[in-house]
Every structure is written in structure tokens, then in C-alpha cells.
Amino acid sequence: MSTIRVEQGLLEGSVRDGVHSFLGIPYAAPPVGERRWCPPAPAEPWDGVLDATAFGNAAIQTADTGMDLGAPQSEDCLYLNVWTTQPESDNKQPVMVWIHGGGFLNGSASLKIWPGEQLCRDGVTVVSLNYRLGAFGFLTDPEVGANFGVQDWVAALEWVRTNISAFGGDPENVTIFGQSAGGAATRALLSTPSARGLFHKAVIQSAGFEDYAVVDSPSLERSHTATDRLYERLGSTDINELRQIPAEKVREASLALSGIFPPAGQVHTPANLVWYPVPDGGVIDDDFGGWEKNVPVMLGCTEDEARMFVQPTMLYAHPEVRPEDAYTPETLANMAKAMGGDRYAEILEHFASTGAGDYEAIAEVITAGVWHEPARATLERFAELGRTCYSYHFARVSPGARSTGLLAKHSAEIPYLFGTLNPPEYYEEIDTQISRGVRHAWAEFARTGVPACLNGAPWPAFQPEDPQTAWIGDTIGPRTLEPTPVARLISASRTPQPAIPSRG
């Protein structure tokens, strides 16, 4: 066992193979009862020693994904976890704070796909956290406020600043990183004034980019509208009454209004989400008020992002629809028009010339329109702001990923980053080497602000006139970041306009 004192009291965690784990640490008071839809309050101190050997409650999941969360669901969910190999207070290791994804509807830091045991072996102190999801975290009310999930992230970072040195971490060298909704969360924190000074580097993975064209962008007005409809479903506009409504009823209303179902004739993409961090003139601003100029950013995508959402063997949003009935020429035309606007005919001509099947073409156009083109636009935007930014592109396809047709889908880099290459038969020795390289690069970025290959070669910073990226395939190394023909056409269809800072 391992014992550490934090501001609220003593913690007893566990030690295995040199890794000290402290799980289920409360970083704020339970947001229940009168604290529902309130900013997080400080965690209460405790007497004696708090058992920190099991994960704290997961946030209430808006939709049932069938995943094993590794912990019970509850509104009482504001817990974090710490992994370190060097818990002495004078070690001053870089700190990496993970914000999990799940569309702001699902997910938990307790999921088995992103433990901190392996990553911390690269000489960093790893923190992961839970936050309020769905309407619990992203309701917008002019009287009560907004962006409660964002305020949870800030509270966790404040806890890190106060307590992380006890675990061997350096509160003056904190990197925030997240994937999917966690990437959008990282981008949102760049525009959160109260987060300023609480982090010193940021990694944005597969979200948090400039606007895409499928649906209207998340906005304060859209969040207000969803909140009004939520109140209608719950039968009250009195916040005190609403705070007494059972959490399950709030969850059901949150799901009904979550926007996860695509418009007719289209297939599901993350563009449809409603409960989302939005500029509100308070917690999040319309600029980058939380981003200090000396804070570098690393961001990137996977090669085949959309194959997570439009899979070759199933449909997430409408499982009763057969894939062969959904991935049709008509669906392709609808998605090409949604993504490419007045250039959609040229997009269809491109696919006709390459002989791509309907499924492959649909996946490619969504990948280009929701991820690749917006990511490139973000790199250029950040460069215009004079910020230091590094790019990566994850394209490694394991034997298992090739056999399923999922390829380098959305989240494909996660097992490599956290060293969770399971099941073993899904991977081969090259994947083990790539995993080491990915963990090393992320840890070096946290340590120095410059990601580096295992041989010590630094990754090139992104420059619009010479757009270099770190290509992560069967090897890791620099490559010119060339947009695909579809991404070029989508980019050409856009009317340049300022993007919402938290967009992902």
C-alpha cells in the first residue's frame, strides 16, 4: 500500500510493479440535490485514511453503450485518479491530465481502455477525471448558468495545482490531453479564462477543430432551446423543483434531446450532438482567454476516423437498418452535399473515377469533412495566431483492424497511447513498437513542449508554408501534410469565418 496526504486528508492507494495508483479521489463535493446545476464546490475533508484503491462513481451515462464502466453510475461523480512511479514530492515530474471522450454523453475515467499505468512509466504523473455529462453537465439556464462540465474540468485542474506535488508531479508543468469529446474539452479550455495558468501544454486528439458543414454549430442559443425542451419534458421551470427530480428522469430527457440521430437520408456523425460546451460570456469566451501565448499545442487525427461511426457491419444510430440499405448511392450523395456544398458533384465524380464503393466513399467523405479538413484549418488558424503547434496523423493499421475493416478509425490511437493493446492477437510486434513511440512522443511533449521520436529526433512544428506532420504508420517520422482530393474540395466550398473555439 502507499499513503499520501492531500489537502483534504490522507489517501491510501496501491502499488503494483513499481506504479503507485490512487483511485477515486474526490476533487469536488458531490453535485447532487441543491448542488445539481451549480458550479462544483470544494471537496470536504475527511477523517482517518481514505481508501483510494477503487475507481469513484462514473457520471450518469446519457445513452447505454453496453461498455463496462468499471464503476457504478451516479450524480456523485466528481472523482479523479493518479498514477505515478515517483511519488516523492521533490520529483517534479511532468503532469498529464486526461479528459475522456464519449460525446459529452457517455464515458468514464474508469474505463479499461485508458488506465495510466503504462503511460506513467515514461516519467510522467498521469491524472484522469470524471465530469458531469449530458444535461447534467451542459444545460444552459440564464438564471443558473452553463457549462457545468467545463467548470468540473477547471475544479480538477485546481485540485491538481494544489495537490499534485505530493504525488511527485510538477504543478508548473501540466499538460491537458483528450480525445474526441475530450479533444473538444481541451480546445474549450483554451477559451476558459478561469483555466488560465492551470495548464502549460495541450493535446487535442480527433476533435476540437474548426467548424464542419453538416449541421449548425453548437451555440448558446441552441443550448438554451434544448434546455427549454428539457424543462418541458420534466414538467417544470422551477430550478428548485428540477433539482429534486430523480436523476433517471433527467437522464431520459437528456437522451431524448441529445441529437444523436442523423437527419433523414444521412448517417450518424458526431456533428449531431447537442449537449456541448459553448461560449456563454462567462465560463467560456468567444476568444482564447484561457490560452497563454507560451502554451504549445499538439493536435491530430486518425486516417479513417469515420469508420468508428459508419462501420462496415453495423449502424450505431439505427441498428434495425441493414448496412446495405444505408450505404447507398443516395446516402453518398446526401453526405457529399452536406459536407461539400456546391462542390458535391465534383466529390461524387472523384469517387466515380477511383472506383470506390458506396461504403468506402461515405466513410471517406465524412472523415474529410468532420475531421481532416477542419483539423488542417485549425492548424492554420493557430499558426496565424502566432502559436506553436505540432501535428500528427495516426495511420497505423494492426492486423485485427484490417480484418474488421475498421482500419485506423476514430480512437485507434488510444490503445497505443495507453499501452492497452488487447486482445493480443489483434496486434503484432510493430504495434508494440509504435505504442512505445506514441507514449514517448506524448510524454516528451509534456516534459519539454516538443514531441520527439524514440531516437530523440524532434517532431517538426507546423508551418503553413511547409506543413509538416508526424506520420504514425508502420514507423513514426515527419511527412508533408497533404490534403486528400476530397478534403481540398470541401475546403474550397467553405466561406471563411471565425470558428467557435470549443468546436469539435
Catalogue the active-site residues. 180, 305, 410
Contact indicator for 396, 426 with CB cutoff of 8 Å = no
Q: Could you tell me the three cell numbers for 391?
A: 501535428
Q: Could you tell me the three cell numbers for 265?
A: 437520408
Question: What element of type H or E holds 169?
Answer: strand 169-179
Question: What element of type H or E holds 431?
Answer: helix 429-448
Count of CB atoms situated within 10 Å of the CB of 21: 20
- Whose CA is closest to 113, among 422, 402, 426? 422
The counts of H helices and E strands in the chain are 15, 15
How close are the terminal C-alpha atoms of the chain, in Å? Answer: 41
Distance of alpha carbon 339 from alpha carbon 356, whole angstroms: 18
In Å, the largest CA–CA distance within the chain is 70
DSSP 8-class letter at 463: B
Distance of alpha carbon 69 from alpha carbon 199, whole angstroms: 27
Distance of alpha carbon 361 from alpha carbon 1, whole angstroms: 53
351-387 per-residue burial string, b: 16 or more CB within 10 A, e: under 16: beeeebebbbbbbbbbbbbbbbbbbbbbbbbbbeeeb
Distance of alpha carbon 439 from alpha carbon 444, whole angstroms: 8
- Whose CA is closest to 109, among 147, 156, 151? 156
Q: Could you tell me the three cell numbers for 423?
A: 486482445
